Structure 1
Amino acid sequence: MNLDLSRTVSPTESSKASITALNSIVLYGLAFLLAYGVHQLATAAMAHRLGIPLTLHLSHVQFLIPDRQWWRIAVIAVYGVGPFLSLLLAIGAGLLFWFYGRGRKGRLKLFYFWLALHAFNLVLGGLIAGSFTQLGFWYVPRWLFVEGGTAFPIALAVLGGIIAVITGYKAAVAFLQSHDSRTMMLYANRGQLIFTGLLVPWVVGSLLLAALKWPDLTTYEGLLFVTMGLFLLPLSISSRNELFQDTVPTPRKTTIAWAFVGAFLLLALLWRLVFNAGITLS
């Protein structure tokens, strides 16, 4: 994949690339917090409904019962409800993007795009991260098909990885349609768009989110940031080869999305304040 980052760019292109990177980082982070929040709150709500005491932390849900007190239905319900709602959220965000976002100007369509990817990653990436850590979504196939041992969840994780790669590769046009700037959409600037609109938000956004969760960041959640690459790296390659360079007839001017910046900072602050000490439900 040749991003052609050595090409000389004009001050206008450089400014738009920087703004694109900032907006993409913010929307990447905001979408993750929303998707992960839905996942964790659903998990906690199901456990609470089943009478399982728990504590919600910055990066994980701690269940306050010993392993021997779990029963099969509880394991499947508690660890399955989050990925199930995440899948619905991914589908919903994808439909919003396709029918209400891509043909309109503004940054909301880029938010839908990131939300769909993050939510889908909580499902597919959750299978992969769980196979490495034997935590999270891994428990669902493990307890659904006990006779399959650990081989079945691993096979599902491999399948999930393949689906993630295919999804990312096929999402190139959607990624390009999520941007308004005529300058950044030019094929000559495709390398800059991929770098600032995909790779920078993935790396910088993930580091910021990891810092937000520190020192509670779990290996499982850390791996979710890595598995996002199964979507984004094929997407980068496909976008580089995609000749599509159209945008909406009246695109929005490339400026910092202050409303989304404020929303991200506020949500991150609330996340830290609310979950830092842990919330216990008994």
Structure 2
Amino acid sequence: MSDATGAESGGRSAKTFITAFNSTVIYLLTYLLLQGLYQAATVRMARRLGIPGTWHVSSITFSITDAEWWRLAVLAVYGIGPAVCAVVGLLAALWFWQRARLQRGLLKLVLLWTALHACNLVLGALVGDTFVENWAWYIPSWLFLAGNGPNVALAVVAALLQLAIGYFAAVAFLQSHDSITLMQYSNRPQLIRAGILAPWVVGSLVLTALKWPELSRNELFHFLTMGLLLVPMALHSAREPFDLTLPKSQKTRLSWTLLVVALVLAAAWRVMLAPGLQF
């Protein structure tokens, strides 16, 4: 009896580790993809408007003075990134809900984290950037031209929306995992630690190391505002009785392919942007 219990515990621990590993790799990969898309769209828009600058490891700086900006340019340059991420996030969420959640494999987890990162780069960024009064904060500032009051109010609304989305994303999180063992309600704490907390904490630390010493305050706040999604998602997941998975779920195994892709992308990010990419 004790041998069977030990084997069951060992199997659960192995699946927990694999889930944490895969989730963290996917967290990093989707973050870099979404952040890269956000910043690439910003650079492209700035180039179209004839605004020079430099793309750094953790930020983009522009080479024109404050007086040289005009209203349409501010809204276009600082708004294109969130707009692109909003579209990508919605498409990922729809793909996940309509098709991927009913399929085996890690695609549904990739789509889930893509949607979550996209949401954070739209709503969470507005919250975080309001604290440092730049980037997304410029959008309502130049849109309303009514002082800081509307900016703060909009940031509060964004925070509340992020909390609500995180709460309702709990079922999607549970459906993104194939492990029959970890999906059991009795093993829910392990699933939450492996599938939510580990990717957020470890992923943020790895990204900090990748961007250091150029880590911007904006990006640091974005790491923190991710909690507005993940904390309510974790709390709701802990109470959600849903514990079903696919009838023929895929065996839990390490995804070395995604790890290699994430490492290559991270290395390319550092090598290309460390000296500063001028545009």
TM over 0.5: yes
Amino acid at match of 1:42: A
User: Following superposition of structure 1 onto structure 2, how do residues 162-173 of structure 1 map, counting pairs within 5 Å?
Assistant: 162-173=160-171
Q: Report the alpha carbon displacement of residue 43 of structure 1 after superposing the two structures with TM.
A: 0.4
Moved over 2 A (4+): none
The alignment of Structure 1 onto Structure 2 pairs a total of residues equal to: 273
Deviations 1:217-267 (A, max 9, x none): 100011000000000000011000101111111111111011111111111
Corresponding residue number in structure 2 for 1:4:
none
Q: Distance in 2 between matches of 1:104 and 1:110?
A: 11
Corresponding residue number in structure 2 for 1:68:
67
1:96 aligns with 2:77: no
Amino acid at match of 2:92: A
Corresponding residue number in structure 1 for 2:114:
115
State TM-score, norm by structure 2: 0.96
Deviations 1:186-234 (A, max 9, x none): 0010000001100011000011011111111100011000000000000
Q: Distance in 1 between matches of 2:203 and 2:141?
A: 32
Q: Distance in 1 between matches of 2:264 and 2:179?
A: 27
Amino acid at match of 2:213: P
Amino acid at match of 2:121: L
Secondary structure of residue in 1 paired with 2:95: helix
Q: Distance in 2 between matches of 1:213 and 1:48?
A: 24
Q: Report the alpha carbon displacement of residue 100 of structure 1 after superposing the two structures with TM.
A: 2.2
Gaps of 5+ in 2: 1-7
Corresponding residue number in structure 2 for 1:125:
124
Corresponding residue number in structure 2 for 1:201:
199
User: Following superposition of structure 1 onto structure 2, how do residues 1-282 of structure 1 map, counting pairs within 5 Å?
Assistant: 10-146=9-145, 148-281=146-279
Amino acid at match of 1:204: V
Q: Report the alpha carbon displacement of residue 104 of structure 1 after superposing the two structures with TM.
A: 0.3
Amino acid at match of 2:191: L
Gaps of 5+ in 1: 1-8
Q: Distance in 2 between matches of 1:100 and 1:49?
A: 37
Secondary structure of residue in 1 paired with 2:252: coil
Q: Distance in 2 between matches of 1:95 and 1:269?
A: 31
Amino acid at match of 2:166: G
Amino acid at match of 2:160: I
Deviations 1:24-60 (A, max 9, x none): 1000010100111110000010001000001111111
Q: Distance in 2 between matches of 1:165 and 1:232?
A: 8
Corresponding residue number in structure 2 for 1:5:
none
Please provide the CA RMSD for this pair. 1.0
Identity of aligned pairs, percent? 49
